[in-house]
Amino acid sequence: MKLLHTADWHLGAKLGRHDRMEDHRTALRVLLDVAATERPDLIVHAGDLFDAYRPPYPALQHGVTALQRLAQIAPTVVISGNHDSGALFDVLDRMADMASPRRLRFVTSPRVLEFDDLAEAPVALACVPFIPPGAITDYATGDAARFEGDYADGIRTLNDQVIGRAREVAGPQGIVLYTAHLHVDGARPGNSERRFTVGEDHATHTKGLHRALYCAFGHIHDPQQLPGSASGRYAGSLIPLDYGESRQTKQAVVVTIGDDVRIGERELPPGRPLESFTGTLGELEARARDGGLDGCFLKAVVASDDPIPDLADRVAEWSPKCVIFNLVNEVANRRVRPISQAEADDGREPAIDDLFAEWRTTAATGRATKAPLATVQELFREAVAGSGDREGPDFGVTALAIRAETVLGALRNGVGSDGPGEPDAPGAPG
């Protein structure tokens, strides 16, 4: 039989404020092509389908659509990861159960799935979704008072149970598979994983997993072989989710089980490159000029002796299709105004409009420097003077409100009479 293993799609993820759906679509198109070409007998998604418990509706729709297309190729199983909502998965599983024959399953608790028509022998898939440390005692023993050990001990006990059950279901000639969303001790985590779910307190081990012919893992985003003697892999995340993954190669795993177990990788496109830059303005211009950074996310630190006005605008001019994730101007000669002795003696601080003027002339960048300084200063003083004061300047809001009331009065009078009539006075009942 043939198995397709994927994991950690994290649909709905953002890089800062920038949505990654375009990159997800690109990778999923290739993943679907891989599935159509390889024609697996079973597809396993090892958790973290979404990036949040409440994924945005576009991400939810895109994920369900992609899974439906995979399920048309082969029966598809998705286990919940630490980013997934068990309640949402239960709803999706009920909806998937309406199809006949059923081809898509969502698993939120440890269980064994049986397949009688995938290969010449029965197939049993032992599933262990992500389990929080506080819940492991219930799954391992069913009685917290009887449990002794740490999280790894509890997972080992649970693995013994589900793999033992899978071996019973498959029989002596059957195929036993295992999938989990867990951190195995010795695995190489990427820089992006959240340390409270990837660390020593959450580390498990592979002892006993050798009884499965293949172990499909999710949770670690850097694709790699499982440590130890168990046959299996972390499929890794679908795309590089942040700069900690920018140099990782993303892949889907194709497993062929016959007289032996053969594991192959199929590379997936990384989406828009995550480019890092550190250097001078001239070096950045040389790299970005004529669209050199178009289609990239950019994280840059630009060193200069003096502040560079309109730095982001300059990058946009050189590479109009560059997405700026983070842009920092490190200034060597940033001016510092000395505090006078009188200010030091009596504790007085500079006036706020003086501080604003200093900021605008020494540190402000982009559109903040476009308007004349005197005009901006005067508006700033009016705003500060009127803050918290009901009688302070309203910058034309009152005149706008009176005009709106006049128009509304005219509309009310026109609707309520046979003719246009005269507009009501501002504030008069309609």
Averages of pLDDT over runs of 10 residues in the chain (430 residues) are: 97 94 97 98 98 96 97 97 96 95 96 91 96 81 64 90 95 94 88 58 84 96 93 96 93 95 96 95 96 96 92 95 94 68 60 75 60 76 67 68 84 60 46
Neighbours of 302 (CB within 10 A): 22
Would 374 be classed as within a structural domain? no
Q: Give the model's pLDDT for residue 358.
A: 72
Q: Is residue 351 part of a domain?
A: no
Give a yes or no: residue 29 inside a domain.
yes
Domain presence at residue 169: yes
Q: What is the pLDDT of residue 14?
A: 94
DSSP-assigned letters across all residues of 253-300: EEEEESSSEEEEEEE----S-EEEEEEEHHHHHHHHGGGTTTT-EEEE
Report yes or no: 5 and 264 within 8 Å, Cβ to Cβ. Answer: no
Considering the domain boundaries, does residue 343 fall inside one? Answer: no
- Structural domains of the chain, count: 1
Residue 48 near residue 82, CB atoms below 8 Å: yes
Flag whether 171 is in a domain. yes
Containing domain of residue 215, as a range? 2-267
Cα 294–chain centre separation: 22
Q: What is the pLDDT of residue 425?
A: 46
In a domain, 279, yes or no: no
Both tokens assigned to 308: 């560079």
Residue 175, in any domain of the structure: yes
At residue 129's C-alpha, the angle toward residues 126 and 132, to 5°, is 135
pLDDT for the residue 389: 57
What pLDDT is recorded for position 198? 60
pLDDT at 429: 44
Number of other CB atoms surrounding residue 147 within 10 Å: 16
CATH label of the domain that carries residue 94: 3.60.21.10
Q: Are residues 424 and 409 in contact, defined by beta-carbon separation less than 8 angstroms?
A: yes
H-type helices in 180-328, by residue range? Answer: 281-288, 311-318
What letter would DSSP give residue 82?
A: T
Query: For residue 57, which amino acid is it?
Result: Y
Half-sphere exposure of 255 (CA within 13 A, CB side): 24
Residue 365 DSSP one-character state: -
For the segment 24-72, what is each residue's pLDDT rounded down to a tens digit?
999 999 999 999 999 999 999 999 999 999 999 999 999 999 999 999 9
